[in-house]
Chains A and B, each alone.
Chain A
Amino acid sequence: MSEIHLKINGQEVTAQSGQTVLEAAKGAGVEIPVLCHHPALSNWGACRMCVVEVEGMRTLQTACTLPAADGMVIKTHTEQTFNIRKFVLELLFSERNHYCMYCQMSGDCELQAQAYNHGLDHWTYPRPYEKQEVDATRKYFIMDHNRCILCTRCVRACTEIAANHTLGLRNRGAETMISADLNVPFGESSCVECGTCLQVCPTGALIDARSAYGGREKDVTHTQTTCMQCSVGCDLDVVTRYKRLLRVDGVWDSEPSGGLLCVDGRFAPLYETRKRVVKPLVRKDGKLTEASWEEALGLVANALKGDTCQGLAACATTNEALAAFAGLMTQLGGQAGRLEPVAPTLGYGVPAKVTDVLAADFIIVAGAQPLDYQRVVGYFIHRAADQGATVAVISDSENALSKRAALTVASAQAGIVAKAAADARKIVLVYSVGLKPEVIAALKPLGDKVSFLALDPARNGKGAEAVGLKPQSPVKTDVAYILLGEQPVADALHVPAGFKVVQAAYHSTLTEQADVVLPTPLWYERTGHVTTLDGVIKPLQVLLPAPADVRDESVVLEQLAALLR
Chain B
Amino acid sequence: MGKIKVATQWLEACAGCHMSFLDIDERIVEFFKHVELTSSPITDLKHPPEEGVDVGILTGGIGNEDELHEAQEMRERAKLLIAMGDCAVFGGICTMRNFFPTAEVLRRGYIETESTVDGQIPQHEDLAPLTDKVSGVGDVVPVDIYLPGCPPTADAIWYVLTELLEGRMPKLEGKVLKYGMDGG
Q: Which residues of A contact B (CB under 8 A)?
A: 99-103, 106-107, 112, 115-116, 119, 121-123, 126-127, 129-131
CB nearest to A129 among chain B residues: B98
Extra inter-chain contacts (7) besides given A115-B179, A126-B139, A127-B95, CB under 8 Å: A99-B86, A99-B93, A100-B150, A101-B92, A102-B180, A116-B174, A122-B138
CB nearest to B89 among chain A residues: A122
A107–B180 alpha-carbon span in the complex (Å): 9
Are B182 and A112 touching (Cβ within 8 A)? yes
Are A116 and B178 touching (Cβ within 8 A)? yes
Render B56-89 as a binary contact track against A, CB cut-off 8 A, 1 for contact: 0000000000000000000000000001001001
Show 5 A/B contacts (Cβ-Cβ < 8 Å), sorted by A: A100-B182, A102-B93, A107-B182, A115-B179, A119-B177
**Binding site secondary structure of chain A:** loop
For residue B158, CB closer than 8 A to chain A, the reply is: no
The residues of B that contact A115 with a CB separation of less than 8 Å are 179
CB nearest to A131 among chain B residues: B99
For residue B10, CB closer than 8 A to chain A, the reply is: no
B96 CB, min distance to chain A CBs, angstroms: 8
Option from A106, A122, A123, A127 in Cβ contact (under 8 Å) with B182: A106
The residues of A that contact B90 with a CB separation of less than 8 Å are 99, 122-123
Q: How many residues of B contact A (CB 8 A)?
A: 29
The residues of B that contact A122 with a CB separation of less than 8 Å are 83, 89-90, 136, 138, 143, 146, 148
The residues of B that contact A100 with a CB separation of less than 8 Å are 86, 150, 179-180, 182
Option from B133, B147, B180 in Cβ contact (under 8 Å) with A121: B147
The residues of B that contact A131 with a CB separation of less than 8 Å are 99
CB nearest to B171 among chain A residues: A119
For residue B4, CB closer than 8 A to chain A, the reply is: no
CB nearest to B135 among chain A residues: A126
For residue B172, CB closer than 8 A to chain A, the reply is: yes
The residues of A that contact B181 with a CB separation of less than 8 Å are 101, 106
For residue B118, CB closer than 8 A to chain A, the reply is: no
Are A101 and B178 touching (Cβ within 8 A)? no
B168 CB, min distance to chain A CBs, angstroms: 16
For residue B173, CB closer than 8 A to chain A, the reply is: yes
CB nearest to A124 among chain B residues: B138
The residues of B that contact A127 with a CB separation of less than 8 Å are 91, 95
CB nearest to B91 among chain A residues: A127
A129 CB, min distance to chain B CBs, angstroms: 4
The residues of A that contact B146 with a CB separation of less than 8 Å are 121-122
A121–B138 alpha-carbon span in the complex (Å): 12
The residues of A that contact B95 with a CB separation of less than 8 Å are 99, 127, 129
CB nearest to B100 among chain A residues: A131
Chain B CB count within 10 A is highest, among A107, A126, A130, for: A107
A316–B89 alpha-carbon span in the complex (Å): 55
B97 CB, min distance to chain A CBs, angstroms: 9
The residues of A that contact B86 with a CB separation of less than 8 Å are 99-101
The residues of A that contact B143 with a CB separation of less than 8 Å are 122
CB nearest to A146 among chain B residues: B99
The residues of B that contact A119 with a CB separation of less than 8 Å are 171-173, 177
The residues of A that contact B92 with a CB separation of less than 8 Å are 99, 101
Option from A107, A121, A129 in Cβ contact (under 8 Å) with B148: A121
A239–B133 alpha-carbon span in the complex (Å): 41
Within 8 A of A (CB), among B156-184: 171-174, 177-182
Option from A106, A107, A121 in Cβ contact (under 8 Å) with B177: A121
B157 CB, min distance to chain A CBs, angstroms: 14
A127–B133 alpha-carbon span in the complex (Å): 11
A126–B89 alpha-carbon span in the complex (Å): 12
The residues of B that contact A121 with a CB separation of less than 8 Å are 89, 146-148, 172, 177
